[in-house]
Amino acid sequence: MNLFNNCIKAMTVIVSAFAGQAAFAADGITIDHLGVNNTLVRVDGQDGYLMIPVQDSADDAKIDVLVDGRTAETIYVRLAKSKTDFTVPFDLSPYKGKNVIFNIVTPQGRSSVREAKEDACWKSFELSKKFKIKNTDKYRPAYHHTPLWGWMNDPNGMFYKDGTWHLYYQRNPYGSKWQNMTWGHSTSTDLINWEQQPDAIRPDGLGAIFSGSCVIDHNNTAGMGKDAVIALYTSAATSQIQSLAASNDNGTSFTKYAANPVLTLESEARDPNMFWNQETGEWNMVLAHALDHEMLFFTSPDLKTWTLQSAFGKGEGCQDGVWECPDLFELPVEGSNDKKWVLICNINPGGPFGGSAVQYFIGDWNGKKFTADTDLSGKIPTKWLDFGKDNYALVSWSDAPGNRRTVIGWMSNWQYAADVPTMQFRSANTLPREMGLFRAPDGQIYASCAPAPELEALRGKQIKAVKTAKINSKPKTYALPAENGGICEILVDLDTRKAKTISLEMSNNANEKVILTYNSEAHTLSFDRTQSGIVDFSESFPAVTTAPTFEADGHLSLRIFVDRSSMEVFGNGGRCVMTNLVFPTKPYTSLSISAQGGNARISNLKIYGIHN
Protein backbone atom coordinates (compact mmCIF):
# COMPACT_ATOMS: atom_id res chain seq x y z
CA MET A 1 0.00 0.00 0.00
CA ASN A 2 1.67 3.20 -1.10
CA LEU A 3 0.13 6.06 0.83
CA PHE A 4 1.31 8.88 -1.32
CA ASN A 5 0.17 9.83 -4.77
CA ASN A 6 3.53 10.29 -6.29
CA CYS A 7 3.40 12.56 -9.24
CA ILE A 8 6.26 10.83 -10.92
CA LYS A 9 5.02 7.35 -11.62
CA ALA A 10 5.93 4.68 -14.10
CA MET A 11 9.52 4.71 -13.08
CA THR A 12 11.62 2.33 -15.11
CA VAL A 13 13.22 -0.33 -13.05
CA ILE A 14 16.84 -0.76 -13.96
CA VAL A 15 19.47 -3.18 -12.89
CA SER A 16 22.46 -1.49 -11.39
CA ALA A 17 25.79 -1.87 -13.12
CA PHE A 18 27.22 -3.60 -10.06
CA ALA A 19 25.29 -6.75 -10.72
CA GLY A 20 27.18 -8.72 -8.08
CA GLN A 21 26.03 -6.64 -5.10
CA ALA A 22 23.41 -4.26 -6.40
CA ALA A 23 19.66 -4.64 -6.33
CA PHE A 24 16.92 -3.25 -8.56
CA ALA A 25 16.52 0.49 -8.22
CA ALA A 26 14.32 3.19 -9.67
CA ASP A 27 15.63 5.86 -12.04
CA GLY A 28 18.16 8.18 -10.44
CA ILE A 29 18.86 5.81 -7.57
CA THR A 30 21.80 3.44 -7.23
CA ILE A 31 21.79 0.77 -4.57
CA ASP A 32 24.98 -1.01 -3.47
CA HIS A 33 24.81 -3.81 -0.94
CA LEU A 34 27.99 -3.90 1.08
CA GLY A 35 27.32 -6.75 3.43
CA VAL A 36 24.62 -8.45 5.44
CA ASN A 37 23.44 -5.26 7.09
CA ASN A 38 24.96 -2.34 5.25
CA THR A 39 23.66 -0.78 2.04
CA LEU A 40 24.34 2.48 0.22
CA VAL A 41 21.48 4.24 -1.56
CA ARG A 42 22.86 7.00 -3.82
CA VAL A 43 20.76 9.84 -5.23
CA ASP A 44 23.44 12.14 -6.61
CA GLY A 45 22.43 15.55 -7.85
CA GLN A 46 18.70 15.08 -7.31
CA ASP A 47 16.00 17.47 -6.17
CA GLY A 48 12.52 16.66 -4.86
CA TYR A 49 11.94 13.76 -2.50
CA LEU A 50 13.38 10.34 -1.91
CA MET A 51 10.37 8.22 -0.99
CA ILE A 52 11.46 5.80 1.72
CA PRO A 53 9.49 2.54 2.12
CA VAL A 54 8.36 1.79 5.68
CA GLN A 55 7.03 -1.31 7.39
CA ASP A 56 5.42 -0.30 10.68
CA SER A 57 6.41 -3.53 12.45
CA ALA A 58 10.04 -3.65 11.25
CA ASP A 59 12.99 -2.60 13.40
CA ASP A 60 14.71 0.73 12.91
CA ALA A 61 17.51 1.04 10.40
CA LYS A 62 20.08 3.75 11.11
CA ILE A 63 20.59 6.00 8.10
CA ASP A 64 23.45 8.49 7.90
CA VAL A 65 22.73 10.98 5.15
CA LEU A 66 26.14 11.78 3.62
CA VAL A 67 26.28 14.95 1.59
CA ASP A 68 29.49 15.35 -0.39
CA GLY A 69 31.03 12.81 1.94
CA ARG A 70 30.01 14.36 5.28
CA THR A 71 27.20 13.22 7.57
CA ALA A 72 24.56 15.95 7.24
CA GLU A 73 21.96 14.16 9.35
CA THR A 74 21.12 10.81 10.86
CA ILE A 75 17.62 9.40 10.80
CA TYR A 76 16.07 6.15 11.98
CA VAL A 77 13.51 4.45 9.75
CA ARG A 78 11.63 1.14 9.98
CA LEU A 79 12.69 0.13 6.49
CA ALA A 80 10.28 -2.32 4.86
CA LYS A 81 11.45 -5.89 5.29
CA SER A 82 8.68 -8.20 4.10
CA LYS A 83 6.21 -5.59 2.77
CA THR A 84 5.90 -1.84 2.32
CA ASP A 85 3.10 -0.37 4.44
CA PHE A 86 3.63 3.20 3.25
CA THR A 87 6.38 5.50 2.06
CA VAL A 88 7.68 8.66 3.72
CA PRO A 89 9.25 11.58 1.88
CA PHE A 90 12.83 12.65 2.54
CA ASP A 91 13.28 16.19 1.25
CA LEU A 92 16.36 16.40 -0.97
CA SER A 93 15.97 20.08 -1.85
CA PRO A 94 18.48 21.34 0.78
CA TYR A 95 21.11 19.15 -0.93
CA LYS A 96 20.19 19.88 -4.53
CA GLY A 97 23.07 19.33 -6.94
CA LYS A 98 25.19 17.56 -4.33
CA ASN A 99 26.31 13.96 -3.97
CA VAL A 100 23.93 12.34 -1.53
CA ILE A 101 24.43 8.86 -0.13
CA PHE A 102 22.10 7.20 2.38
CA ASN A 103 24.44 4.96 4.33
CA ILE A 104 22.01 2.43 5.75
CA VAL A 105 22.70 0.01 8.58
CA THR A 106 19.81 -2.42 8.88
CA PRO A 107 19.44 -4.11 12.27
CA GLN A 108 17.84 -7.38 11.31
CA GLY A 109 20.15 -10.35 11.46
CA ARG A 110 20.57 -11.80 7.99
CA SER A 111 22.70 -14.78 7.17
CA SER A 112 23.97 -13.47 3.81
CA VAL A 113 23.99 -10.49 1.46
CA ARG A 114 21.71 -12.52 -0.78
CA GLU A 115 19.12 -12.61 2.02
CA ALA A 116 19.59 -8.91 2.81
CA LYS A 117 18.91 -8.06 -0.84
CA GLU A 118 15.49 -9.69 -0.56
CA ASP A 119 14.18 -6.92 1.75
CA ALA A 120 11.07 -5.30 0.29
CA CYS A 121 12.45 -1.79 0.66
CA TRP A 122 15.11 -1.93 -2.02
CA LYS A 123 12.51 -2.29 -4.77
CA SER A 124 10.39 0.55 -3.42
CA PHE A 125 12.79 3.48 -3.01
CA GLU A 126 11.63 6.10 -5.52
CA LEU A 127 12.33 9.67 -6.46
CA SER A 128 9.41 12.04 -6.67
CA LYS A 129 9.26 15.70 -7.62
CA LYS A 130 6.19 16.22 -5.43
CA PHE A 131 4.00 14.17 -3.21
CA LYS A 132 0.41 14.50 -2.15
CA ILE A 133 -1.27 12.91 0.81
CA LYS A 134 -4.37 10.89 0.24
CA ASN A 135 -5.91 9.79 3.52
CA THR A 136 -6.06 6.03 3.86
CA ASP A 137 -7.02 5.80 7.54
CA LYS A 138 -10.70 5.48 8.32
CA TYR A 139 -10.00 6.56 11.87
CA ARG A 140 -8.38 9.85 10.88
CA PRO A 141 -10.45 12.47 12.71
CA ALA A 142 -12.53 14.86 10.63
CA TYR A 143 -12.19 17.92 12.85
CA HIS A 144 -9.22 17.34 15.14
CA HIS A 145 -5.66 18.27 14.28
CA THR A 146 -3.52 15.39 13.01
CA PRO A 147 -0.19 15.37 11.19
CA LEU A 148 -0.69 14.56 7.50
CA TRP A 149 1.62 11.60 7.93
CA GLY A 150 3.85 10.17 10.62
CA TRP A 151 3.84 9.99 14.37
CA MET A 152 2.88 12.83 16.73
CA ASN A 153 3.00 13.17 20.51
CA ASP A 154 3.09 16.30 22.71
CA PRO A 155 1.82 19.64 21.49
CA ASN A 156 4.48 22.20 22.41
CA GLY A 157 5.77 25.69 21.70
CA MET A 158 2.34 27.06 20.88
CA PHE A 159 1.88 30.82 20.49
CA TYR A 160 -0.66 33.18 18.95
CA LYS A 161 0.47 36.05 16.76
CA ASP A 162 -1.27 38.38 14.30
CA GLY A 163 -4.46 36.32 14.12
CA THR A 164 -2.75 32.93 13.72
CA TRP A 165 -2.63 30.08 16.23
CA HIS A 166 0.69 28.27 15.92
CA LEU A 167 0.78 24.66 17.03
CA TYR A 168 4.07 22.78 17.17
CA TYR A 169 4.30 19.14 18.11
CA GLN A 170 6.63 16.24 18.71
CA ARG A 171 6.79 14.55 15.35
CA ASN A 172 8.45 11.70 13.52
CA PRO A 173 8.42 12.64 9.82
CA TYR A 174 9.77 9.20 8.85
CA GLY A 175 7.34 6.75 10.41
CA SER A 176 4.26 6.24 12.55
CA LYS A 177 6.01 5.32 15.78
CA TRP A 178 8.05 7.55 18.12
CA GLN A 179 11.47 8.43 16.66
CA ASN A 180 13.48 11.30 15.07
CA MET A 181 11.85 13.90 17.34
CA THR A 182 11.32 17.06 15.35
CA TRP A 183 9.07 20.09 15.93
CA GLY A 184 6.27 19.71 13.41
CA HIS A 185 4.23 22.86 12.82
CA SER A 186 0.61 23.58 11.90
CA THR A 187 -1.28 26.86 11.83
CA SER A 188 -4.91 27.88 12.11
CA THR A 189 -6.87 31.12 12.14
CA ASP A 190 -10.00 29.56 13.65
CA LEU A 191 -8.78 26.68 15.87
CA ILE A 192 -10.69 24.28 13.60
CA ASN A 193 -8.95 24.18 10.23
CA TRP A 194 -5.25 23.43 10.46
CA GLU A 195 -2.65 23.71 7.76
CA GLN A 196 0.54 21.69 8.07
CA GLN A 197 3.67 23.81 7.62
CA PRO A 198 7.24 22.67 6.99
CA ASP A 199 8.90 21.15 10.03
CA ALA A 200 10.17 23.96 12.23
CA ILE A 201 13.08 22.56 14.25
CA ARG A 202 15.00 19.44 13.26
CA PRO A 203 17.44 17.28 15.24
CA ASP A 204 21.10 18.29 15.30
CA GLY A 205 24.37 17.24 16.89
CA LEU A 206 23.02 18.08 20.37
CA GLY A 207 20.17 15.63 19.96
CA ALA A 208 16.55 15.17 19.06
CA ILE A 209 14.21 18.11 19.61
CA PHE A 210 12.01 17.32 22.60
CA SER A 211 9.20 19.47 23.97
CA GLY A 212 9.54 23.10 24.95
CA SER A 213 7.82 26.43 24.59
CA CYS A 214 7.82 29.63 22.55
CA VAL A 215 7.45 33.24 23.60
CA ILE A 216 7.29 36.43 21.59
CA ASP A 217 10.17 38.64 22.66
CA HIS A 218 8.31 41.93 22.41
CA ASN A 219 11.16 43.93 24.01
CA ASN A 220 14.01 42.16 22.23
CA THR A 221 15.50 41.03 25.54
CA ALA A 222 17.42 38.24 23.78
CA GLY A 223 18.83 40.58 21.13
CA MET A 224 17.47 38.35 18.39
CA GLY A 225 15.01 40.89 17.06
CA LYS A 226 11.96 42.76 18.31
CA ASP A 227 8.96 40.43 18.36
CA ALA A 228 11.19 37.48 17.45
CA VAL A 229 9.63 34.16 18.33
CA ILE A 230 12.00 32.46 20.75
CA ALA A 231 11.81 28.72 21.30
CA LEU A 232 13.38 26.97 24.27
CA TYR A 233 13.40 23.19 23.92
CA THR A 234 15.15 20.11 25.20
CA SER A 235 18.00 18.70 23.13
CA ALA A 236 17.86 15.02 23.93
CA ALA A 237 20.68 12.60 23.24
CA THR A 238 22.59 10.70 25.93
CA SER A 239 21.50 13.50 28.28
CA GLN A 240 18.88 16.21 28.25
CA ILE A 241 19.93 19.84 27.94
CA GLN A 242 18.04 23.02 27.06
CA SER A 243 18.58 24.87 23.79
CA LEU A 244 17.33 28.09 22.21
CA ALA A 245 16.24 28.97 18.68
CA ALA A 246 14.83 32.18 17.22
CA SER A 247 12.43 32.85 14.39
CA ASN A 248 12.12 36.17 12.59
CA ASP A 249 9.48 34.93 10.17
CA ASN A 250 6.64 34.35 12.65
CA GLY A 251 7.61 30.82 13.57
CA THR A 252 8.03 29.31 10.10
CA SER A 253 11.77 28.76 10.34
CA PHE A 254 14.07 28.88 13.36
CA THR A 255 17.77 29.61 13.65
CA LYS A 256 19.42 27.75 16.49
CA TYR A 257 21.44 29.82 18.93
CA ALA A 258 25.10 29.16 18.16
CA ALA A 259 26.07 28.94 21.85
CA ASN A 260 23.56 26.19 22.68
CA PRO A 261 22.92 24.64 25.15
CA VAL A 262 21.77 27.52 27.35
CA LEU A 263 21.09 25.35 30.40
CA THR A 264 22.55 22.07 31.64
CA LEU A 265 21.88 20.06 34.80
CA GLU A 266 23.41 16.91 36.18
CA SER A 267 20.14 14.95 35.95
CA GLU A 268 17.28 14.40 33.51
CA ALA A 269 15.29 17.62 32.99
CA ARG A 270 13.09 18.59 30.08
CA ASP A 271 10.20 20.45 28.47
CA PRO A 272 11.01 24.08 29.51
CA ASN A 273 7.95 26.32 29.63
CA MET A 274 8.60 30.07 29.81
CA PHE A 275 6.54 33.22 30.18
CA TRP A 276 7.11 36.94 30.76
CA ASN A 277 6.37 38.01 34.33
CA GLN A 278 4.97 41.51 34.08
CA GLU A 279 5.27 42.15 37.81
CA THR A 280 8.92 41.21 38.23
CA GLY A 281 9.98 42.34 34.74
CA GLU A 282 11.81 39.13 33.87
CA TRP A 283 11.31 35.79 32.22
CA ASN A 284 10.12 32.84 34.31
CA MET A 285 10.55 29.21 33.32
CA VAL A 286 9.39 25.84 34.66
CA LEU A 287 11.42 22.75 33.84
CA ALA A 288 10.36 19.17 34.55
CA HIS A 289 12.92 17.42 36.74
CA ALA A 290 11.47 14.26 35.35
CA LEU A 291 12.88 11.41 37.45
CA ASP A 292 12.97 13.50 40.62
CA HIS A 293 9.19 13.99 40.31
CA GLU A 294 9.37 17.73 40.76
CA MET A 295 9.33 20.98 38.81
CA LEU A 296 12.24 23.45 38.84
CA PHE A 297 11.71 27.21 38.52
CA PHE A 298 14.17 29.56 36.82
CA THR A 299 14.34 33.28 36.01
CA SER A 300 16.15 35.09 33.21
CA PRO A 301 16.60 38.66 31.95
CA ASP A 302 17.37 37.62 28.36
CA LEU A 303 16.15 34.04 27.74
CA LYS A 304 19.77 32.90 27.47
CA THR A 305 20.98 32.91 31.08
CA TRP A 306 18.76 31.08 33.52
CA THR A 307 19.01 31.12 37.32
CA LEU A 308 17.49 28.35 39.41
CA GLN A 309 15.16 29.83 42.04
CA SER A 310 13.23 26.97 43.61
CA ALA A 311 11.62 23.57 43.18
CA PHE A 312 8.17 22.17 43.88
CA GLY A 313 6.77 18.70 43.97
CA LYS A 314 9.06 16.31 45.81
CA GLY A 315 6.71 13.99 47.69
CA GLU A 316 3.62 15.89 46.52
CA GLY A 317 0.76 14.84 44.25
CA CYS A 318 1.13 11.68 42.26
CA GLN A 319 4.70 10.41 42.34
CA ASP A 320 4.15 7.22 40.34
CA GLY A 321 5.55 8.33 37.01
CA VAL A 322 7.95 10.83 35.48
CA TRP A 323 6.98 14.51 35.69
CA GLU A 324 6.90 16.12 32.25
CA CYS A 325 5.54 19.01 30.19
CA PRO A 326 4.85 21.71 32.82
CA ASP A 327 2.93 24.94 32.44
CA LEU A 328 2.27 27.76 34.89
CA PHE A 329 -0.28 30.55 34.56
CA GLU A 330 -2.69 32.73 36.50
CA LEU A 331 -6.48 32.63 36.16
CA PRO A 332 -9.42 34.39 37.80
CA VAL A 333 -11.66 32.29 40.04
CA GLU A 334 -15.19 32.30 38.63
CA GLY A 335 -17.70 34.32 40.66
CA SER A 336 -15.06 36.13 42.77
CA ASN A 337 -12.32 38.73 42.50
CA ASP A 338 -9.69 36.14 43.38
CA LYS A 339 -6.92 34.98 41.10
CA LYS A 340 -4.89 31.83 41.50
CA TRP A 341 -1.94 30.18 39.76
CA VAL A 342 -2.23 26.80 38.09
CA LEU A 343 0.83 24.55 37.84
CA ILE A 344 0.34 21.85 35.22
CA CYS A 345 2.42 18.71 35.80
CA ASN A 346 1.79 16.05 33.19
CA ILE A 347 2.77 12.64 34.54
CA ASN A 348 3.35 9.26 32.99
CA PRO A 349 2.48 6.66 34.18
CA GLY A 350 0.33 7.16 37.28
CA GLY A 351 -2.84 8.63 35.76
CA PRO A 352 -6.13 7.82 37.53
CA PHE A 353 -6.98 5.13 34.95
CA GLY A 354 -3.45 4.03 34.12
CA GLY A 355 -0.72 5.56 32.00
CA SER A 356 -0.51 9.22 31.11
CA ALA A 357 -2.56 12.07 32.61
CA VAL A 358 -2.61 15.80 33.35
CA GLN A 359 -2.10 16.54 37.04
CA TYR A 360 -2.32 20.10 38.34
CA PHE A 361 -1.86 22.12 41.50
CA ILE A 362 -3.58 25.37 42.48
CA GLY A 363 -1.53 27.89 44.42
CA ASP A 364 0.44 31.12 44.43
CA TRP A 365 3.48 32.23 42.46
CA ASN A 366 5.67 35.14 43.50
CA GLY A 367 7.99 35.11 40.51
CA LYS A 368 10.42 32.75 42.21
CA LYS A 369 8.49 30.16 44.20
CA PHE A 370 5.27 28.19 43.82
CA THR A 371 3.24 27.55 46.98
CA ALA A 372 0.42 25.04 46.59
CA ASP A 373 -2.93 25.39 48.34
CA THR A 374 -3.79 22.72 50.88
CA ASP A 375 -7.12 21.07 51.61
CA LEU A 376 -8.94 21.10 54.97
CA SER A 377 -6.63 18.39 56.30
CA GLY A 378 -3.58 20.53 55.50
CA LYS A 379 -2.45 18.30 52.63
CA ILE A 380 -1.73 19.33 49.06
CA PRO A 381 -4.42 17.54 47.04
CA THR A 382 -3.75 15.66 43.79
CA LYS A 383 -5.99 17.07 41.07
CA TRP A 384 -6.62 15.81 37.54
CA LEU A 385 -7.70 17.92 34.62
CA ASP A 386 -9.31 15.21 32.51
CA PHE A 387 -10.84 11.97 33.73
CA GLY A 388 -10.52 10.14 30.43
CA LYS A 389 -7.47 8.17 29.37
CA ASP A 390 -6.52 10.19 26.33
CA ASN A 391 -5.42 13.69 27.16
CA TYR A 392 -1.73 14.11 27.82
CA ALA A 393 1.04 16.69 27.63
CA LEU A 394 -1.59 19.43 27.70
CA VAL A 395 -0.09 22.94 27.69
CA SER A 396 -1.30 26.40 26.75
CA TRP A 397 -0.77 28.93 23.96
CA SER A 398 1.34 31.94 24.89
CA ASP A 399 0.11 35.41 23.91
CA ALA A 400 -3.45 34.17 23.28
CA PRO A 401 -5.80 37.11 22.67
CA GLY A 402 -8.06 38.62 25.33
CA ASN A 403 -6.34 36.97 28.30
CA ARG A 404 -7.59 33.61 27.17
CA ARG A 405 -5.85 30.52 28.48
CA THR A 406 -6.33 28.24 25.54
CA VAL A 407 -4.91 24.73 25.88
CA ILE A 408 -4.64 21.58 23.81
CA GLY A 409 -3.48 18.05 24.63
CA TRP A 410 -2.16 14.99 22.85
CA MET A 411 -5.22 12.73 22.48
CA SER A 412 -3.53 9.47 23.38
CA ASN A 413 -1.79 7.60 26.15
CA TRP A 414 1.76 6.23 26.23
CA GLN A 415 0.26 2.85 27.23
CA TYR A 416 -0.93 2.15 23.66
CA ALA A 417 -0.26 5.21 21.49
CA ALA A 418 1.99 3.22 19.13
CA ASP A 419 -0.53 0.38 18.78
CA VAL A 420 -3.79 2.18 17.92
CA PRO A 421 -5.34 0.95 14.64
CA THR A 422 -4.09 3.74 12.38
CA MET A 423 -1.08 3.51 10.11
CA GLN A 424 -0.38 6.52 7.91
CA PHE A 425 -0.51 8.87 10.90
CA ARG A 426 -0.57 8.20 14.63
CA SER A 427 -2.34 10.46 17.09
CA ALA A 428 -4.52 13.52 17.01
CA ASN A 429 -4.78 16.45 19.36
CA THR A 430 -7.73 17.03 21.67
CA LEU A 431 -10.07 19.83 20.73
CA PRO A 432 -8.69 23.21 21.84
CA ARG A 433 -10.12 24.22 25.22
CA GLU A 434 -10.40 27.25 27.46
CA MET A 435 -9.28 26.94 31.04
CA GLY A 436 -10.93 28.54 34.02
CA LEU A 437 -11.10 28.14 37.81
CA PHE A 438 -14.15 27.51 39.97
CA ARG A 439 -14.89 26.80 43.60
CA ALA A 440 -16.51 23.38 44.01
CA PRO A 441 -19.03 22.29 46.69
CA ASP A 442 -16.12 20.91 48.77
CA GLY A 443 -14.79 24.48 49.13
CA GLN A 444 -11.71 23.89 47.02
CA ILE A 445 -10.69 25.56 43.78
CA TYR A 446 -10.51 23.36 40.68
CA ALA A 447 -9.67 23.95 37.03
CA SER A 448 -12.30 23.75 34.33
CA CYS A 449 -11.63 23.05 30.67
CA ALA A 450 -14.42 24.00 28.27
CA PRO A 451 -14.45 23.63 24.47
CA ALA A 452 -12.95 26.73 22.81
CA PRO A 453 -15.80 29.07 21.72
CA GLU A 454 -14.64 28.83 18.09
CA LEU A 455 -15.82 25.21 18.02
CA GLU A 456 -19.47 26.27 17.79
CA ALA A 457 -18.74 27.03 14.14
CA LEU A 458 -18.38 23.29 13.59
CA ARG A 459 -22.11 22.82 14.01
CA GLY A 460 -23.83 21.81 10.81
CA LYS A 461 -27.39 20.68 10.34
CA GLN A 462 -29.43 20.24 13.52
CA ILE A 463 -30.66 16.68 13.31
CA LYS A 464 -32.72 16.54 16.46
CA ALA A 465 -34.12 18.95 19.02
CA VAL A 466 -36.06 17.82 22.10
CA LYS A 467 -37.19 20.53 24.47
CA THR A 468 -37.86 18.26 27.37
CA ALA A 469 -38.67 14.58 27.96
CA LYS A 470 -39.32 12.31 30.91
CA ILE A 471 -36.87 9.40 31.10
CA ASN A 472 -37.51 6.09 32.84
CA SER A 473 -36.07 2.60 32.69
CA LYS A 474 -37.37 2.04 29.14
CA PRO A 475 -34.75 3.68 26.87
CA LYS A 476 -35.76 6.60 24.66
CA THR A 477 -33.85 6.32 21.41
CA TYR A 478 -32.73 9.06 19.02
CA ALA A 479 -30.92 8.69 15.71
CA LEU A 480 -27.37 9.98 15.36
CA PRO A 481 -26.01 10.99 11.95
CA ALA A 482 -24.43 8.09 10.06
CA GLU A 483 -22.80 10.07 7.26
CA ASN A 484 -19.22 11.26 7.34
CA GLY A 485 -18.18 8.62 9.84
CA GLY A 486 -20.91 9.61 12.31
CA ILE A 487 -19.28 12.86 13.38
CA CYS A 488 -21.56 15.01 15.51
CA GLU A 489 -22.01 17.16 18.58
CA ILE A 490 -24.63 16.23 21.17
CA LEU A 491 -25.93 18.64 23.81
CA VAL A 492 -28.26 17.62 26.61
CA ASP A 493 -29.19 18.76 30.11
CA LEU A 494 -29.78 15.99 32.63
CA ASP A 495 -31.97 16.38 35.70
CA THR A 496 -31.70 13.36 37.97
CA ARG A 497 -33.09 14.69 41.20
CA LYS A 498 -35.69 11.90 41.29
CA ALA A 499 -33.49 9.12 39.90
CA LYS A 500 -30.28 7.47 40.93
CA THR A 501 -28.54 7.22 37.60
CA ILE A 502 -29.16 8.14 34.01
CA SER A 503 -27.37 6.42 31.12
CA LEU A 504 -26.68 7.58 27.60
CA GLU A 505 -25.73 4.78 25.25
CA MET A 506 -24.25 5.55 21.83
CA SER A 507 -24.28 2.40 19.72
CA ASN A 508 -24.12 0.95 16.21
CA ASN A 509 -25.69 -2.14 14.66
CA ALA A 510 -22.52 -4.14 15.27
CA ASN A 511 -23.43 -4.00 18.96
CA GLU A 512 -20.55 -1.67 19.72
CA LYS A 513 -21.30 1.02 22.23
CA VAL A 514 -20.09 3.70 24.57
CA ILE A 515 -22.08 4.10 27.78
CA LEU A 516 -22.05 7.31 29.77
CA THR A 517 -23.61 7.04 33.22
CA TYR A 518 -24.34 9.97 35.47
CA ASN A 519 -24.73 8.97 39.10
CA SER A 520 -26.32 11.87 40.91
CA GLU A 521 -25.87 10.29 44.34
CA ALA A 522 -22.14 9.75 43.89
CA HIS A 523 -21.84 12.94 41.78
CA THR A 524 -19.88 11.11 39.10
CA LEU A 525 -20.01 10.61 35.37
CA SER A 526 -18.52 7.43 33.94
CA PHE A 527 -17.47 6.54 30.41
CA ASP A 528 -17.46 2.85 29.51
CA ARG A 529 -15.55 2.03 26.32
CA THR A 530 -15.09 -1.68 27.02
CA GLN A 531 -17.44 -2.55 24.11
CA SER A 532 -16.75 0.54 21.99
CA GLY A 533 -15.35 -1.26 18.91
CA ILE A 534 -11.76 -2.37 18.33
CA VAL A 535 -10.34 -2.60 21.84
CA ASP A 536 -8.01 -5.58 21.69
CA PHE A 537 -4.82 -3.93 20.41
CA SER A 538 -3.78 -3.28 24.01
CA GLU A 539 -4.78 -4.70 27.38
CA SER A 540 -4.82 -1.18 28.74
CA PHE A 541 -7.36 0.12 26.21
CA PRO A 542 -10.73 -1.29 27.35
CA ALA A 543 -11.66 0.82 30.37
CA VAL A 544 -14.35 2.55 32.36
CA THR A 545 -13.24 6.03 33.38
CA THR A 546 -15.08 8.02 36.05
CA ALA A 547 -15.06 11.76 36.69
CA PRO A 548 -16.35 13.79 39.64
CA THR A 549 -19.10 16.11 38.37
CA PHE A 550 -18.52 18.83 40.98
CA GLU A 551 -22.23 19.62 41.33
CA ALA A 552 -24.51 19.18 44.31
CA ASP A 553 -27.92 19.54 42.73
CA GLY A 554 -28.40 16.56 40.38
CA HIS A 555 -28.05 18.65 37.23
CA LEU A 556 -25.50 18.01 34.55
CA SER A 557 -25.30 19.81 31.20
CA LEU A 558 -23.40 17.74 28.69
CA ARG A 559 -21.63 18.58 25.46
CA ILE A 560 -20.33 15.53 23.64
CA PHE A 561 -18.07 15.74 20.60
CA VAL A 562 -17.96 12.59 18.49
CA ASP A 563 -15.27 12.29 15.84
CA ARG A 564 -14.21 9.16 13.95
CA SER A 565 -12.00 7.81 16.69
CA SER A 566 -12.70 9.90 19.76
CA MET A 567 -15.35 11.12 22.13
CA GLU A 568 -14.85 14.21 24.30
CA VAL A 569 -17.39 14.81 27.04
CA PHE A 570 -17.70 18.16 28.79
CA GLY A 571 -20.03 18.50 31.81
CA ASN A 572 -21.26 21.80 33.25
CA GLY A 573 -19.09 24.09 31.15
CA GLY A 574 -15.94 22.01 31.44
CA ARG A 575 -16.01 21.37 35.19
CA CYS A 576 -16.06 17.70 34.38
CA VAL A 577 -14.11 16.48 31.35
CA MET A 578 -13.43 13.08 29.84
CA THR A 579 -11.45 12.51 26.65
CA ASN A 580 -11.38 8.96 25.35
CA LEU A 581 -10.38 7.35 22.08
CA VAL A 582 -12.84 4.85 20.56
CA PHE A 583 -12.49 2.77 17.39
CA PRO A 584 -16.00 1.65 16.34
CA THR A 585 -16.02 -0.51 13.21
CA LYS A 586 -19.08 1.47 12.08
CA PRO A 587 -20.36 4.88 13.24
CA TYR A 588 -22.55 4.99 16.35
CA THR A 589 -25.97 5.74 14.89
CA SER A 590 -28.22 5.57 17.90
CA LEU A 591 -28.44 7.38 21.22
CA SER A 592 -30.52 5.65 23.92
CA ILE A 593 -31.24 7.37 27.19
CA SER A 594 -32.65 5.59 30.26
CA ALA A 595 -32.92 6.23 33.98
CA GLN A 596 -32.44 3.85 36.87
CA GLY A 597 -33.78 4.13 40.41
CA GLY A 598 -36.54 6.60 39.56
CA ASN A 599 -37.52 8.97 36.79
CA ALA A 600 -35.22 11.56 35.32
CA ARG A 601 -35.73 14.39 32.88
CA ILE A 602 -33.72 15.58 29.94
CA SER A 603 -34.05 18.96 28.32
CA ASN A 604 -32.50 20.93 25.46
CA LEU A 605 -31.35 17.80 23.65
CA LYS A 606 -29.72 18.93 20.41
CA ILE A 607 -27.86 16.78 17.93
CA TYR A 608 -25.79 18.56 15.30
CA GLY A 609 -24.00 17.19 12.29
CA ILE A 610 -20.56 18.69 11.75
CA HIS A 611 -19.65 20.91 8.80
CA ASN A 612 -17.47 19.16 6.31
List interacting residues with ligand FRU (CB under 6 A). Answer: 153-154, 170, 181, 210-211, 234, 270-271, 324-325, 393
Torsion angle (degrees, nearest 10) of CA 184, 189, 192, 195 = -40
Q: Are 601 and 503 in contact (CB under 8 A)?
A: no
3-state secondary structure at position 484: helix
Nearer to ligand FRU, 236 or 607 (CB): 236
CA atoms of 608 and 299, how far apart (whole Å): 47
Active site residues: 154
CA atoms of 583 and 581, how far apart (whole Å): 7
Question: Which one, of 502, 420, 337, lies nearest residue 153 by Cα?
Answer: 420
Q: What string of H, E and C letters represents the secondary structure of 421-455?
A: CCCCEECCECCCEEEEEEECCCCCEEEEEEECHHH
| Angle CA 305–306–310, to nearest 5 | 165
What phi and psi values does residue 256 have, to the nearest 5 degrees?
Answer: -75, 145
CA atoms of 486 and 582, how far apart (whole Å): 12
Closest distance between ligand FRU and the C-beta of residue 348, in Å? 6
Chain residue whose CB lies nearest ligand FRU: 210
Longest dimension (CA), the chain: 83
Question: Which one, of 477, 495, 492, lies nearest residue 570 by Cα?
Answer: 492
Burial pattern 229-252, b for ≥16 Cβ within 10 A else e, equals: bbbbbbbbeebbbbbbbbbeebbe
CA atoms of 226 and 590, how far apart (whole Å): 55
Residues in the chain: 612
CA 348, 254, 101, 174 torsion: positive or negative? positive
**Residue 219: CA count within 13 A, CB half-sphere:** 10
Q: Are 189 and 221 in contact (CB under 8 A)?
A: no
**E strand map for 92-163:** 100-105, 126-128, 150-161
The continuous run of DSSP H or E covering 517 comes out as strand 513-519
